[in-house]
Amino acid sequence: MRAEAILILILCYCAVFVRAQENISSIFGDAEMAEPPKLPTEGVRAELILVIRDMEQNVMGNRHVLLELENLETGTRENTLRYSDENGWISLNLEPGDWQLIAKIDDLSTPGKDYISNEFRIDLRNSTTGDLFVFPVGSLRGNVYNEIGERIVNARVRVDCGRDHGDRDTVSDEFGRFSLDYVPVGICEVLALSNNKVGSITINITKGELKTIDITLAQEVKSGPDLRILLIASIPVIVVIIFYLSRKRKPEPGIEKTTKIEITGRMRDIIRTLTDRERDIVELLIENNGKLTQAEIRHFLRIPKATMSRDIHSLKQKRIVETIKIGRNKEIILTKWFLGTEE
C-alpha cells in the first residue's frame, strides 16, 4: 500500500508539470509570432564630392579644409573640418537641398591664412562631384588711432583689393584693434572711419602672410548737400524742360508747306496698296510738304520706335520714301518716283 501511494503521488506531480509546460509553450508561442519593433531608419542622404583646386587648376591635396555650410531651404548652418586626399577630394554626406558653402584653408606652416573660395552654391538632389576653386589670401591685424594717438573704438574698417572674395569689412574692438583673416593677395587700400574722420593706408598682401598696420584718422569727411533739397529745387526746372521739349517736338501740319502737294490718281492707287500705318505716314508727309523727321512722325502718330523703323523700311523698299541722316536725326522724304516728278 505504501508503494502504491508513492506511485500515485509521482503520477499527480508529472501531470501538473506537463500542464504547466503546455501553458508556458502557449504563452511563448504567441510571443514568437509578434514582430519586434524596428529601429527608425536614417533619412535619405546625397554624397557631395568636392575637388579642391587653386587658380591654376592644380589640385589641393593633403590639406585641412574648413567648410562653412548653409542649407538655404531650412536655414541650418554647420561648420566641418575635412582633410582632402592626395587627389584634392573631400566627401560630404548631406541632406538633399539647396546648399551654399565656403571653403577656407589654413596651412599651419604660415603665420596667416592661405586660401578661401567664393560662395559655392549647389542644388543637391543626387550624389554629385564638382570642382571648388580657392584663391590665395593673407591675414591682416591693425590698430586705429586719432591724431593725438588715442585708440578709436567702433571705427569702421574696410579693405579694398579689387576682388570679390575674402573679408572686406570689420569694426575695431574696445581696444581699438581690428583683424581680417582672409584678405585677397595683392595691392589693397585699407580705410578706417569714425566721427567724420577718415584714414587710409595702401599695403601689399602676400599668401599666408600676417601683416600688422596702424591707421590714423587725420582727414575730415564733409557731408555733401541734402539730396532731397536738391531734388525739390530741381522739380520746376524739369517741368519747364519737359514742357519746352514737348512743344518743340510736336509737328504742326501745314507750317512748313510752301507748295501744296496735289494727290494724283496714280498716288491714290499706290496708297491703297499700303497698310494702315504706312498709309498714315504717307498722308502725314503729304500734309507737311513731303518731309518730316522720323522722331516727329513717331511722336505725332504715337507709333513705337521699333514698329516705326519697320514701316519706314517697308516704304523704302516700295520706293515711296527715302531717308537722309542729319546729325542724330533721320529725315523722311517722299520720293520723286511716288510724287511723279521723276524725269
Task: Say how far apart CA 47 and CA 40 lie, in whole Å.
Answer: 21
Shared domain check, 100 and 84: yes
Shared domain check, 214 and 145: yes
Start-to-end CA distance of the chain, whole Å, equals 162
Task: Say how far apart CA 117 and CA 126 lie, in whole Å.
Answer: 23
Q: How much is the pLDDT for 266? A: 85
Residue 226 resides in a domain: no
Domain count of the fold of the chain: 3
Residue 167 resides in a domain: yes
Q: How much is the pLDDT for 274? A: 87
Residue 130 resides in a domain: yes
Share of the chain above pLDDT 90, in %: 52
Task: Say how far apart CA 189 and CA 178 lie, in whole Å.
Answer: 15
Residue after which a domain boundary falls, among 104, 136, 168? 136
Residue 21 resides in a domain: no
Cβ contact 211:194 at 8 Å: no
Residue 50 resides in a domain: yes
Residue 97 resides in a domain: yes
Shared domain check, 281 and 215: no
CATH number of the domain that residue 115 is part of: 2.60.40.1120
Residue after which a domain boundary falls, among 103, 136, 169? 136
Residue 17 resides in a domain: no
Backbone angles phi, psi at 110, to 5 degrees: -115, 150
Shared domain check, 334 and 266: yes
Task: Say how far apart CA 44 and CA 10 lie, in whole Å.
Answer: 64
Cβ contact 66:53 at 8 Å: no
pLDDT digits (tens, 9 = 90+) for 110-169: 999 999 999 999 999 999 999 999 999 999 999 999 999 999 999 999 999 888 788 889
Residue 131: all three cell numbers together: 570642382
Cβ contact 287:263 at 8 Å: no
31-35, 232-236, 254-258, 313-317: which has the highest mean pLDDT?
313-317
Long-range contacts of 226-235 (CB under 8 A, 24+ apart): none
Largest CA distance in the chain: 162
Could you tell me the pTM of the whole model? 0.53
Residue 26: all three cell numbers together: 502557449
Residue 32 resides in a domain: no
Domain of 182 in residue numbering reads as: 137-220
Residue after which a domain boundary falls, among 182, 202, 220? 220
Residue 198: all three cell numbers together: 577718415
